[in-house]
Amino acid sequence: MGILDGVRILDMTHVWFGPYATMQLASMGAEVIKVEVPWGEMMRIPRPDTAIGGQNPIFMYLNRNKKSLTLNLRSEEGKKVYLDLLKVSDVVIQNFSPGTMERMGLGYEALKSVNPKIIYAALSGYGQTGPWAPRRSFDIVGQAMSGIMYQTGYQEDPNGPPIRTADAPGDLTPALWAVIGIMGALMHREKTGEGQMIDVSQVDVMMAQCPSIVTYTNVSRTREELRELQQRSFTGLYGRVKAKDGWVVVGAPRGNIFDRLKKIIGLEEIESREPIDEWVGHRPVKEVLEMFEEGGVPCAPVLKPEEVEDNPHVQARNGIIVVDHSKAGPIKQPNFPVKLEKTPGVVTAPSPLLGEHNEEIVTKLLGYSNEEYEALKEKHIFG
């Protein structure tokens, strides 16, 4: 039994931001119905160099455990099906540009009039209010606007360019905050019977994920002055180091941990990182990790994505699972990451084919007759 068993979610999202949120909710037991345009959302289209069985591997990951319903929401019949579905649902989540749902007649106020208890999560780049709300956004916008992109580049090279963090934290982190908001709204509704709107902005979330803002907006010294002060004395090592056959990361700030590192290396004092670089650089990764771990210094190998599944700790935690897809075959994917003792998150189904559950949802869930369903098909309501 999942913690969200009995919760039904209408998933109007696309690309990475929204689907990552609904994937987590589905893993916790929610029934997620992915409502798509008749030709399917853009992430269904794979890159030729990474397609597996004609499928996009990222789409298959982000949309597992979901059902697919295709609907032409520009038609009155399509809207009626959607509103009938709304009446028996708990949550709507969408990541269109602000105003899009309203122009279709499906904004929060319109949906609330049909189902007053609905929880409506609107995900966007800049939020639903403010002068920049209408602007379009991707992951990189959240990274850039929050200071994270600049800070990542500055730490690498103060005179170099800003650096984008890989794998879209500007999408995936806001998605998790959307999950937090939805879970909180479900608890509130359980207590009061009230639904509510949730406004999640990539920029807002990424700002909250950048503690450097607190330093640089409150300390009187400039960024350059702070860096100069930090360079006057070596405060320990916190970063990557090149070994003989690969890379490791080491976390050894001044104090007890740094004293342990000095003991391992065999030096009474270390005033720069050069002695550490030299010591590590003459040894293979395996030896460095063993010696640092035995000596109580936090460290880890820097793995490529394709190396992660072979790590014994990842294997012991069942971190990578295999999901069988009808078109692509067995696909390796990260598992649901939170270990819940009583209500574990599970992956029970692969990503759906386009419109795979149209008939099931319309006839079995909504109670339309077979004749009514066929009539809607003839009018191309489902594509």
Q: What is the pLDDT along the chain (383 residues), one digit of tens a residue?
A: 899 999 999 999 999 999 999 999 999 999 999 999 999 999 999 999 999 999 999 999 999 999 999 999 999 999 999 999 999 999 999 999 999 999 999 999 999 999 999 999 999 999 999 999 999 999 999 999 999 999 999 999 999 999 999 999 999 999 999 999 999 999 999 999 999 999 999 999 999 999 999 999 999 888 888 888 777 778 899 999 999 999 999 999 999 999 999 999 999 999 999 999 999 999 999 999 999 999 999 999 999 999 999 999 999 999 999 999 999 999 999 999 999 999 999 999 999 999 999 999 999 999 999 999 999 999 999 99
Q: Contact, 383 vs 38, CB < 8 A?
A: yes
Q: Contact, 81 vs 89, CB < 8 A?
A: no
Q: Contact, 33 vs 65, CB < 8 A?
A: no
Question: Helix 139-146 and helix 169-192: axis angle, to 10°?
Answer: 90
Specify the domain boundaries for CATH 3.40.50.10540 within the chain. 8-209+316-378
Name the token pair of 287: 């030896």
Specify the domain boundaries for CATH 3.30.1540.10 within the chain. 234-302
Helix (H, G, I), strand (E, B) or coil at 49: coil
Put the strands of the sheet holding 8-12 in their side by side order. 66-70, 31-36, 8-12, 91-94, 119-124, 196-201
pLDDT of residue 220: 87
CATH code of 234-302, in short, is 3.30.1540.10
Report the candidate in 7, 25, 101, 37 with the shortest Cα–Cα distance to residue 63: 25
CATH topology for 8-209+316-378 is: Rossmann fold (3.40.50)
Alpha-carbon gap, residue 237 to 191, rounded angstroms: 49
No. of H helices and E strands in the chain?
17, 11
Alpha-carbon gap, residue 71 to 383, rounded angstroms: 7
